[in-house]
Amino acid sequence: MKHLKWILSLGLFMFSTAMFAQSFYVLTHVKSYDPLVSSPPELVIHNEEILEEMREMSKELKVNIKDHPSSVLAFIIEKVSIGKTIGYKIDLELGEYMTRDGMKESIFVLSYLDTHLIQASDDVEEELMDAVDEMLSKFTHQYKDDNKDLSHAKEITHENFASVMGYETDYNTALAKAKKEGKKLFIFMTTSYCPWCRKMESRMLSKVDIDKQIKAKYTPAMLNFSKKNFPKQFREIGLTPTLYVVDPKTEKIEHQFVGYSNREGFLEVLKGE
């Protein structure tokens, strides 16, 4: 029974880790931040070692950390407990100023958040540094991926995505074009205020190899869910981003993929069709 309780507690720790690991925005054009570490007294001794790891990573990514920028990349380490299980919650957070859509004022937001949980044990120092290395490696991988050269002559933003990438923005126009081309209709449903849509644009749809595959099989369209200028069947799912594959003759939805996390499902269909 004692072992069962320990396993359940550990399971809750792992479940919490999965729930909190997320990145709200892409890391494109993050050129500066101030690295910081905050930890409980018993782990403060490791702060400088963690900071050095962050400095080395920043040097590799060519991120400025010297001029006290307004953005902050911080490790926040706190002692936590679930039942009788004691551990440490390690957050890697990027805080920076963002401008809301249609507004001039900037607000300070967490644009990146990754969380790791470790148990308090005799090896906690080693587990802490292993977690730090893993989290910095994940940040590095996403940073490099988000800042890859997409091989487009013009920088792609949400505002110019449709025109640069050649996506129709009117449903009826896209439908007629798909019928003429003899291709299925591919719909990218988005909104101007959706951070996951920005990830879909920059990390998937604008990649040259994926774009070529899409246009070889589909006629692509980018529709704004807020405008509701499309058939009712596309309003039933109120979450964005959502991807649809539609038969242009019957207007029947053949596939739908809800959320950025479901992009892999679309890529599998793209390869298979």
Spell out the domain ranges in the chain: 2-146, 161-272
Calpha distance 222→80 (Å, rounded): 44
DSSP 49-94: HHHHHHHHHHHHHT-B-SS--S-EEEEEEEEEEETTEEEEEEEEEE
Nearest to 185 by CA among 139, 245, 239: 245
Which amino acid belongs to residue 271? K
pLDDT in tens, the chain (273 residues): 333 333 334 444 443 443 344 555 678 778 899 999 999 999 999 999 999 999 999 999 999 998 877 899 999 999 998 888 899 999 999 998 876 656 667 777 888 999 999 988 888 888 999 999 999 988 998 888 877 754 454 567 888 899 999 999 999 999 999 999 999 999 999 998 888 898 888 878 988 888 999 999 999 999 999 999 999 999 999 899 999 999 999 999 999 999 987 888 898 899 886
pTM of the model: 0.53
pLDDT at position 6, please? 35
Q: Which helix (H) or strand (E) holds 263?
A: helix 263-272
Task: Region of 29 please: left (phi>0), alpha (psi -120 to 50) or beta.
Answer: left
Superfamily of domain 161-272: Glutaredoxin (3.40.30.10)
DSSP 183: -
Q: How far is CA 133 from the centre of its chain?
A: 20
